[in-house]
A and B are shown apart, each in its own frame.
Chain A
Amino acid sequence: MKKVIDKIRSTKSFYSFVSLIAMIILFSFLSPDFRTFDNAITILRQASTLLILSTGLTAVLVSGSMDLSVGATAAFIGCVCAQLLKMGVPTVAILPIGLALGVVIGSLNGFLISVVGLPSFIATYATNWVVKGLSIIVMSGAVIYGLPEGFTWFGVGYIGPIPVIIIIAAIVVTIAYVLLQKTTWGRDIYAYGSNPDAARYSAVNIKKTIFGSFIMCSMTAGIGGLLMTARLNAAEAAMGDAYGLQTVAAVVIGGTSMLGGEGGVAGTIIGAVLLTVIVNMMNLLGISSSAQPLVVGIVIITMVLIDTMSSSGMDKVKKRLLKKEA
């Protein structure tokens, strides 16, 4: 029994998970509106966009890099596709176009980082700037709204009782999970993230790893951007701004280390849902939108603080596990 508990405790997102459960129980007592099925679906639906955007970013952080261009990329792809829809391009063609744009932006990041040799923080910041500028040009400073129903269905439609957007999020996360955990490419990302030199000497294809993680990140950003546009039934150049750093927060709260090599998509689900639950509860309690960032900021710091404070304790647990296995 102790072994099982140790094993659960040694997963990186353990404390986030406990906090999430504690919050859900607490909020259920506090507000009768919170504990309804409808509200649970609302939370998941709101969390879906953030989760999809954060999924690819998880791969980037696991590889020990950073992508600051997620929000801008999402907005850019959403804007371009909204313009194309307005020009009469059929909905079927939009997804491939969005993904292709994601590949282009991800490749640009990968090129700047692995070929030119820029630190990822700087390279993706520059990309962020350029892409944001392009969005403004694409939109010519205006807002587009009134998109075809076939497209907005992905954002607001239902299959049975479950919103389409949640199903898409589940599919994206599952694919990302399999890619990261079950493929050589995914394991290479972990290897490179935890020790770049060792990975290099073990003949890991570094360029492929970096390009892959950044392309994956921009592709999920693209999907997120499309869904954002479909949900809003509108596109605007600045719509990704709020997501840029929130995605980083979701991934880090989910237990993925900013130093690389640790964590994963499963934790990111917890991080994204946790942030959304807090915002949902504040809305139910009628806390003003000016005050909400205050709470979110405190939660982010506290969660990461708990994580770092507990990691020394966790190291002990891990050692105990290793001893037992040996």
Chain B
Amino acid sequence: MTSSLKTSKQGIADRIRNMPPVVWMLMVLIAVFSITTPNYFAFSNLRNILLQSVSLMILAFAQTLIVLTQGTDLSLGSQVSFVTVLWVLLAKKGVPIYLAAIIAVFATMLAGATNGFLVAKGKIPPFIATFGMQNILGSISLLLTAGSSIYFYHPVFQFVTEKVILFIPLPVWIAALMFLLTWILLYRTKFGINIRGLGGNQEAMSLAGVNIVKSYMKTYAYAGFLAGIAGLITACRVESGQPIVGVGWEFEAVAATLLGGTSLREGKGGITGTIAGVLLLFVLRNGLNVSGVSAMYQNAIIGVIVMMAIVIDMLVRRSRDNKEGCK
């Protein structure tokens, strides 16, 4: 609490100095790619990066909330796949497309609430509970589609991916809306205080009359809601139900969250840094693509840079803590 009060009183200079290191790294990367590759810094390419990052961005907001409670949600990627499958399947069966979307998102919220219940009431480590859920949802998606993709055409898919408002594609607006919603929930409501409390002293919370089980369930359900929205946007982009489209996304979301400065140890951090974390991953991938690095080497290069970024972040944080200690 005191730290948030302190930051609000800081001047702009202090704020810039205390930005997560990932922001600096992001700027350096963009600068490097702009020099090495002509047309990199073009508006169309930057817009492209933003557009590609939307689904993971929304998913990473969800993961950030879970990491703030000192957990990780390994089922988020499978929730995305599940939503694409369920939405397309229901639409194919004749359910009106908007109703089908609502049902699909509701289903992932239910999966999230189950995660939260298992973690809070069953006292299962989040890692294991959500890994179990990942298996279950992945399996259901495969069963619903008989192992392959299912296709369905509806103009709404094209509308979502191609509509541009004020030079910015609609999915980016949706991501911005999700950011705003999550930010308000996290910093302006009791629910948000509870989320951050879950990562801190739970005993104190429960003594203060907060229902721990309910808070966990709400947090995981909200993560499920965000995963659902990410899934809907993904479905619009691939125009089909893909049972394995989200495989591994949960871990990329964890990486983005950590790069953004949310800590697995102290319940510190927030979703603003996560944006920079996600952008770092996509700027890297896009930059390597545009500058013609073979796909074979990309995985290792991104891995090494992510590792370096995490190490640099750690060292910078530590030296900052030391300085504060001196004051």
Contacts and interface: CB of A to CB of B under 8 A. Distances in A.
Contacts of B136: 293-294, 297-298
A297 B264 contact: no
Interface in A284-305: 288, 290-294, 296-298, 300-301, 304-305
Nearest to A130: B303
Contacts of B265: 119
Contacts of A134: 300
A262 to B, nearest CB: 13
B128 A249 contact: yes
Given A252-B128, A301-B118, A309-B122, A125 B135 contact: no
B264 A119 contact: yes
Interface in A256-312: 258-259, 288, 290-294, 296-298, 300-301, 304-305, 308-309
A297 B307 contact: no
Given A121-B264, A136-B300, A112 B311 contact: yes
A131 B314 CA distance: 21
B99 interface: no
A137 B297 CA distance: 6
Task: Name the residue among A129, A249, A252, A296 with the largest chain B CB count within 10 angstroms.
Answer: A129
B286 to A, nearest CB: 17
Nearest to B297: A137
A133 interface: yes
Nearest to B258: A122
B135 A297 contact: yes
Contacts of B299: 129, 132-133, 136
A139 to B, nearest CB: 9
Interface string B238-272: 00000000000001001100100000110000000
A30 B50 CA distance: 55
A300 B128 contact: yes
Given A117-B318, A290-B142, A305-B118, A298 B132 contact: yes
A113 to B, nearest CB: 11
Contacts of B310: 118, 122-123, 126
Contact of A294 (B139, B255, B258): B139
A116 B296 contact: no
A122 to B, nearest CB: 6
A159 B72 CA distance: 44
A129 B307 contact: yes
A126 B315 contact: no
Interface string B290-320: 0000001111111110110011001100100
A141 interface: yes
Given A137-B296, A305-B122, A294 B135 contact: yes
Contact of B127 (A122, A130, A248, A305): A248
Contacts of A116: 311, 314-315
A57 to B, nearest CB: 13
A308 B304 CA distance: 38
B140 interface: yes
A301 B296 contact: no
Given A133-B302, A134-B300, A297 B133 contact: yes
Task: Name the residue among B127, B143, B297, B302 with the largest chain A CB count within 10 angstroms.
Answer: B127
Task: Name the residue among A123, A131, A133, A141 with the largest chain B CB count within 10 angstroms.
Answer: A133
B135 A118 contact: no
Contacts of B125: 252, 258-259, 304
A293 B131 CA distance: 11
A183 interface: no
A132 B301 CA distance: 11
Contacts of A249: 128, 131
B123 A130 contact: no
Interface of A: 66, 112, 116-119, 121-123, 125-127, 129-134, 136-137, 140-141, 245, 248-249, 252, 258-259, 288, 290-294, 296-298, 300-301, 304-305, 308-309
Given A129-B303, A248-B127, 20 more contacts: A112-B307, A116-B311, A116-B314, A116-B315, A129-B306, A130-B303, A133-B300, A136-B296, A249-B128, A290-B143, A293-B142, A297-B131, A297-B136, A300-B132, A301-B118, A301-B124, A301-B128, A304-B124, A308-B124, A309-B122
Interface of B: 72, 74, 118, 122-125, 127-129, 131-136, 138-140, 142-143, 146-147, 251, 254-255, 258, 264-265, 296-304, 306-307, 310-311, 314-315, 318
Q: Which 7 pairs show the lowest CB-CB distances between chains A and B?
A: A133-B300, A297-B135, A129-B303, A294-B139, A133-B299, A290-B142, A130-B303
